[in-house]
Structure 1
């Protein structure tokens, strides 16, 4: 006979964010004890709106945290609610797979339909490898010790060589249990409701904030047309879908009960639980891959997550200035304005400049640029091959928005001709690859352009894990102190 534990995170009233935090962490302590004592499986059931009965609306996040605090107990992700208004089947498959990876292959997958009360809230008709993820978690642990401020994980789908991070909330819950102080950047989360229902976003972000001890930064976005097509998102409406979700998610954290009737989503009066530990809610950000996005972010009173791979430093300075002007006229979607500006790029630091090149840092930068252009440009492959490294020339030729993007980003013109090199990117400071002094000089230009946060993509392309760890160590020990001195 097997012996299991079941969790629904029941919480009699009155309750608040602090009592929810205590409930979650007491449950995690209980699971650690059960693991040591020989219990076979811990199960967590997905429920919604049931204030005293169950606060376990994001069991995948809770279980990812439990997996990092245990060694042998099986992880029962069940039941997962399968009607597709609760969870798109693709998102279920991705989250279960990610949970299996971060738990070391311990997942049991349970399914169900839920109650009619919960179904009505969602407008449901009542009638690669474990090694890669373990390496990523090791990298985050090191970054936490060395003083990095935030770790970000981006939601992507279907991008075989580019990104396997289709369930970042699960991965970040695992990371939170292995770190102490680094902020947990859950961003970007894709807000068009065919990707993620706004209720599920609010629930998962809140649960992640609870298991991380109030460390979440909430980033939002819409994704590429290639990914949108896989979830049947209407590209023409994706901006409006994002805006509607962006406006109602903070209200779900601050209004009880929450009720809404909108263009894309209708929610009858329901209590959305749990609530985030940070009050009134975590800081909110948005991905900005076009100049217009920077001003939209400013008008919404949220932070910017930009990129420098297509953008020279003078261009970056103009974008920051446009954002700063827009944010002065903000009508914030949340309870406060987050006016911080971040941008990410490929970063690889080595003991010498030659080592950085030999470690494939330059190759990683060029490959990322090529792939990102195809994703952002709306590449569609009727043959169904998907995006493959060896098909880059065909994919660039098949990218419908390549000419429009080229007007905004001149480096694209060279890339379309097959003439873009690492030296081109390096000369414009679009990437940061080299020895410590070389990288410091580039970052100083970013700071002068008005950037608050530099987001470093270090586990990139085919850079070996040991070289990534060395890069993070050099950055943490020699570059971060330079800018905090």
Structure 2
């Protein structure tokens, strides 16, 4: 089992300056690189304290790539619906070269109605734009003289420069929160999977993994080569009560941020997002102690967190990569650094092969 980190800001200028949050992110990534973590990942969100300090993962990951040596940099995820495929393919190809082939690219559909409204994109086009955008980027990376006649974009013949550093292109992941169908499509296509069990719940995420692994095999891909990244909040301290208190503080602020960002679901509806109207109440339904009991967040002393991860390995398999959300901005960066060091010293050795 391998471990990475995720940066998901849930702050705004009232809490901390953006420049300071970016400095802390780069410094934590350097520490994670030194400690041997697998990847550092960040998101694409706009306008709200919920993710809004990371409207484009590429600049931050570029800074991290140039400051580190081994750790992979990952988008989790970029949004094809909000980007022209030529521009998106080109930005990511530059990052792949600047990182010397350490890039993993997660693509997502987005789910906040206010973001779609700002880009003048219909929620009902979300899935179609996602599928067209990913395929167009993939072709731009791997082919020359590309002609694209899609529903939303038409271009060509064009040959992208620069070419990706990795041949034929960076590993592709699909981010999915609740959809076994999306996971099935990703597995059949030989793409990786990025998931968040805290959203889908244990049994829902097990269904997603089952669909993904079966489709991977049905697609004729090499057994045991599936790529799965799963995100969890991590709060670790020698004193378990201290870790849980820190986690409770951070998770309560996260709940307030997601409630603000998803409030538009009180009036928005889309066939591409069945059941998402319930997100209007999501922030009010997130209770730290229940999430901790269900292993949707990792918090405690090293022995307690070790037991939690052992349980996750039983539920989801020991071939997954756990990605720890450690830098929301609600807690001092020193707390995140302590968690990373303590995990490396006292938890990770139990899962080394």
TM-score higher than 0.5 here?
yes
Count of residues in correspondence between the two structures = 329
Larger RCO (CA under 8 A, 6+ residues apart): 2
- What corresponds to 2:14 in structure 1? none
Displacement of 1:161 after TM fit? Answer: 4.7
Name the counterpart of 2:8.
none
Q: Quote the residue 1:228 is aligned against.
A: 116
Per-residue deviation, residues 122-147 of structure 1 (Å, max 9, x unmatched)? xxxxxx33211111111000000111
Q: Shift in Å at residue 321 of structure 1? A: 1.0
> Residue 219 of structure 1 corresponds to which residue in structure 2?
106
Which has the larger displacement, 224-233 or 290-299? 290-299
Q: Does 2:335 match 1:467?
A: yes
Give per-residue Cα distances to partners, 1:221-272, cap 9 Å, x unaligned.
1212221111111111111011011112121122111111111111121111
Do the aligned partners of 1:157 and 1:163 also contact (CA within 8 Å) in 2? yes
Following the alignment from structure 1 to structure 2, what is the Cα–Cα distance between the partners of residues 460 and 348? 12
Distance 1:205 1:338 in 2: 24
**1:189 and 2:78 matched:** yes
Q: Assess, with a 3 A threshold, how the Cα gap between structure 1 residues 329 and 265 changes in structure 2: closer, same or farther.
A: farther
Q: Which residue of 1 aligns with 2:3?
A: none
Q: Which residue of 1 aligns with 2:53?
A: 164
* Contact preservation (8 Å) 1:346, 1:458: yes
The 3 A distance-change label for structure 1 pair 420 and 175 is: closer
Q: RMSD in angstroms over aligned alpha carbons?
A: 2.6
Question: Distance in 2 between the 1:349 and 1:316 partners?
Answer: 24
Partner residue of 2:155?
A: 267
Tell me the equivalent position of 1:361.
247
Alignment of 1:303-314 (within 5 A): 303-314=192-203
| Contact 1:190–1:196 (CA under 8 A) maintained in structure 2 | yes
Measured after TM superposition, the shift of residue 168 of structure 1 is 1.4
User: Quick check: which has more Rg, 1 or 2?
Assistant: 1
SS at match of 1:152: strand
Give SS of 1:454's match.
strand
Gaps of 5+ in 1: 1-127, 381-395
Distance change (3 Å), C-alpha of 1:350 and 1:218: same
Q: Is the 8 A contact 1:351 1:436 kept in 2?
A: yes
The answer to which of 428-437 and 220-229 deviates more is 220-229
Residue 189 of structure 1, CA deviation: 0.8
Question: Which residue is 2:144 aligned to?
Answer: 256
Q: Distance in 2 between matches of 1:167 and 1:429?
A: 30
Moved over 4 A (4+): 396-403
- More deviation in 260-269 or 445-454? 445-454
- Judged with a 3 Å threshold, the aligned counterparts in structure 2 of structure 1 residues 179 and 159 are, in CA distance, closer, same or farther, namely same
Name 1:479's counterpart in structure 2: 347
**Cα deviations by residue, 1:333-356 (Å, 9 ceiling, x for unpaired):** xxxx97312211211111111111
Gaps of 5+ in 2: 1-16
Q: Which residue of 2 aligns with 1:431?
A: 297
CA deviation vs aligned residue, 1:441-476 (integer Å, no higher than 9, x gap): 111222222351111100125111111110111112
The answer to whether the 8 Å contact 2:50/2:254 transfers is no
